[in-house]
Structure 1
Amino acid sequence: MTRELLVAGGGIGGLAAAVAARRAGWEARVFEQAAAFSEVGAGIQLGPNATRILHEWDLLQGELEQLVVAPSRLRARDGVDGADLGVLELGGAMRQRYGAPYLTVHRADLQAALLRAAQSSGVRLHSGSRLGGVEEQGKVVTARTGEARLVEAEALVAADGVWSSLRVEVAGDAPTQRTGQLAYRGLVRQQDLPQALRSDEVTVWLAPRMHLVTYPVRGGDWLNAVCVVEGTQPGDPRDWDLAASRAQLDAALGPVCAAVRERVASVPQWSLWVLHARPPVGSADEMARGRVALLGDAAHPMRPYLAQGAGMAIEDAREMQRVLAIADDRIVDVPTAFRRYALNRWQRVARVQERSIRNGTIFHASGPLRMARNAAMRVLGQRLLDQPWLYK
């Protein structure tokens, strides 16, 4: 029997869900409201919990294999005095510990690989089309496209991001809230940097009310930089690519060392987005209802302090693959399978959300908390930076 999944959203989470559905033996159709399947933003980090899934899906081969980077180490430094705080060896050490690598990659490169996998597996792709008006009747879920066409299938996954218009169909809650933080992002060619600023590692600079992280992407040819500061920004908060000036960022940095300012100054152009979030997921009911399930940021937007936004979406998709493989509407119906998906995911993603919030407080600490953080990291650096509960 042919079973079909509708996917709202053609980003990393939506395409991963479609790939997972095909691997589970389902047909899949992806509806992306943008005119093209493209990704804004810059780099992302992928821990072993995500890369082992990408390896299972044969995505870490071919073109993407040439574009990902396995950084040599993660280094934490104090952003005020420049001192080293702790180091976590990545590279071969990470692969040996967890059976999968720690990788950095440009978002667009990962999305392109997922798009190729979706196309080659027979996923039907619809750009410039947004799903809404979801209704369930019997063993069918129906949605209306932006062109007022009706589409139906056995199940629907909403992977339409932090501003999900379909989330209300499941969770019925209010929109996301501002966090009071801004994330500036930029890219610079490594060959354009002086030797002292080039890097093959992930470096995190921690300072009061801000942090800066840099790491290589695109085969190491480019250095990605993300600087998160406290503040607000006028304009449409849904715009993920607001114009930003270096003067704005310089003013928000605060009392940081020359090394941080030098790295900020080395990036030729910055853009920013206003960070929004939700409280950690409180129950399985917030992730699935009937024949509709939430995935990725639509279900659990992540603050960028644990580098797990993409990783949790990929994990969601892998769990979706597992439950779709057993959902035949005879022995196991779709609502039961989606309930199992939600039960198996909500506590883990809530823990990641909670840890990300806590990390934000630690990263941006000042006064006695900063002193305690630095002292602890100097003594327990690798133990504090490693995350076995997450990467295993």
Structure 2
Amino acid sequence: MNQQVIVAGGGIGGMACALALARQGVPSVLLEQAVAFGEVGAGLQLGPNATRVLADWGLSDALQACAAFPEALRVRDAHRGKDLGQLRLGSMAIARHGQPYATLHRADLHALLLAAVQEQGLTELRLNTRLGSFTESPDGVVTTLDDGSTLSADALLGCDGLWSRVRAQLLGPQPVRASGHLAYRGMVRTAGLPAALQGNMVTAWLGPRMHVVHYPVRAGAWMNVVAVVHGMLGQGHGGEPGADPQGWTHEARAADLLRSLGPVCKALLDMVTAVPAWSLWALNDRPAMSTAQEHAQGRVALVGDAAHPLRPYLAQGAAMAIEDAWTIGRLLKPAPAPNDWPAVLARFADTRWQRNARVQQHSQRNGRIFHATGLVRFGRDTAMRWLGESLLDNPWLYDGPPEPEQDPIPSPRTKRKT
């Protein structure tokens, strides 16, 4: 019994799954539709729950080489510039949660996972290959690729993102949900910014119907900037009316963004105008998970955005995919012992779905709070001023991921969440 697994999708979630499998001696075939491995987009944040997994996988040194480790999260009023609240990170994150808070470029995270997968040597990486459909039987899964060829395996992990083909066949056609929000993303060299904007911190600027976040990446050499505003593609925001919502990036004009931000303070205006080029993404998601069956059925499981796409207001998209992969790895018996794949994936789903649903719900709620107007905005600012770090910290989240039931492997983690 070779225990081979097919991993559909070679992004961060797919690479994390391939690594989790390989670390248990389970070979896999990873299918990636692109002609080369890489990650679009710019920066991302990894809370202690995600860096804990990377540490467990022996990747702390690789992370240290490419990431930044901000000293604080600073929340400011986008229009007036005043401070609203702050959460200490850096050494305080380690003291509170046992692991650091990191910020890095998506491509750097993908590259370190890819290098770890290649070092394990148990994953066949297939580029320019996309799964078309699958058929499950009591003995395994047979997948049909777009070129008409087939692959057989003991299990299938759908890591193929928001527009997942695996999900569509497993759960039926379910249209994605447009959030009505657009994300402008760009990067700027830190050395080219005013000194006041070069600090080693995550800064979130909150305003009516908008917010902007910026933080260091590439070991601090670059600053990643994300501005989220209300609007639709083709309605004063690049593209054309009826533009394909599945297009990942779109040419964007700085004038569109500045108009949507409104009369922001000088410091934020300096940051936004320093960005040399913007990409524009329409933010889409799905309703929060409601059952374990949305995560796995039989020998097929959905991982990351294929199961629980997230709005970016809790900075947990990559982290939840990494947690999913880690959980699967924790439930596997090391090779050559055979695994009962339906049982493994059922335990995976039972372990993960409620946590992922909670993160989805909190992300949606944070979007409403970040963009609040009127009395809600006043209440948010007052609560942040009086409650401070206790409002901004999330121990239920950062002390994870939770250990799966019937876990066969002792945990090496500094902090344990059960």
Same fold (TM over 0.5): yes
Aligned to 1:362: 369
1:240 aligns to 2:243 (yes or no): no
Aligned to 1:65: 64
Aligned to 1:316: 324
Aligned to 2:407: none
Contact kept? 2:33, 2:127, Cα under 8 Å = yes
Contact kept? 1:50, 1:311, Cα under 8 Å = yes
Aligned to 1:353: 360
Aligned to 1:107: 106
Q: Deviations over 1:348-380 (max 9, x none)?
A: 000000001110000000111111100110111
1:259 aligns to 2:273 (yes or no): no
CA distance in structure 1 between the partners assigned to 2:82 and 2:102 by the alignment: 25
Q: Deviations over 1:203-231 (max 9, x none)?
A: 00000000000000001000000000000
1:280 aligns to 2:279 (yes or no): no
Gaps of 5+ in 2: 235-242, 400-418
Contact kept? 2:10, 2:37, Cα under 8 Å = yes
What percentage of aligned pairs have identical amino acids?
Answer: 51
Aligned to 2:172: 172
Q: Deviations over 1:105-129 (max 9, x none)?
A: 1000000001111111111100100
* Pair 1:84–1:337, CA change in 2 (3 A): same
For residue 165 of structure 2, give the secondary structure of its aligned residue in structure 1: coil
CA distance in structure 2 between the partners assigned to 1:322 and 1:197 by the alignment: 41
CA distance in structure 2 between the partners assigned to 1:260 and 1:194 by the alignment: 11
User: RMSD of the alignment, in Å?
Assistant: 1.4
Q: Deviations over 1:196-255 (max 9, x none)?
A: 221210000000000000000001000000000000003221122111110111111124
Contact kept? 1:5, 1:26, Cα under 8 Å = yes
CA distance in structure 2 between the partners assigned to 1:70 and 1:266 by the alignment: 23
Contact kept? 1:208, 1:254, Cα under 8 Å = no
Q: Which of 265, 271, 274 does residue 279 from structure 2 map onto? A: 271
Contact kept? 2:26, 2:335, Cα under 8 Å = no
Contact kept? 2:297, 2:342, Cα under 8 Å = yes
Matched to 1:361, the amino acid is R
CA distance in structure 1 between the partners assigned to 2:334 and 2:155 by the alignment: 13
Contact kept? 1:170, 1:285, Cα under 8 Å = no
CA distance in structure 1 between the partners assigned to 2:296 and 2:170 by the alignment: 6
Aligned to 2:257: 249
Aligned to 2:95: 96
Gaps of 5+ in 1: none
Cα distance, 1:86 vs. partner?
A: 0.8
* Pair 1:327–1:306, CA change in 2 (3 A): farther
Aligned to 2:412: none
Matched to 2:269, the amino acid is R
Q: Please identify, of 216-225 and 197-206, the stretch whose mean Cα deviation from structure 2 is larger.
A: 197-206
Aligned to 2:349: 342
1:231 aligns to 2:231 (yes or no): yes
1:374 aligns to 2:381 (yes or no): yes
Q: Please identify, of 266-275 and 130-139, the stretch whose mean Cα deviation from structure 2 is larger.
A: 130-139
TM-score by length of 2: 0.91
CA distance in structure 2 between the partners assigned to 1:140 and 1:12 by the alignment: 25
Cα distance, 1:326 vs. partner?
A: 7.3
CA distance in structure 1 between the partners assigned to 2:370 and 2:132 by the alignment: 39
TM-score by length of 1: 0.97
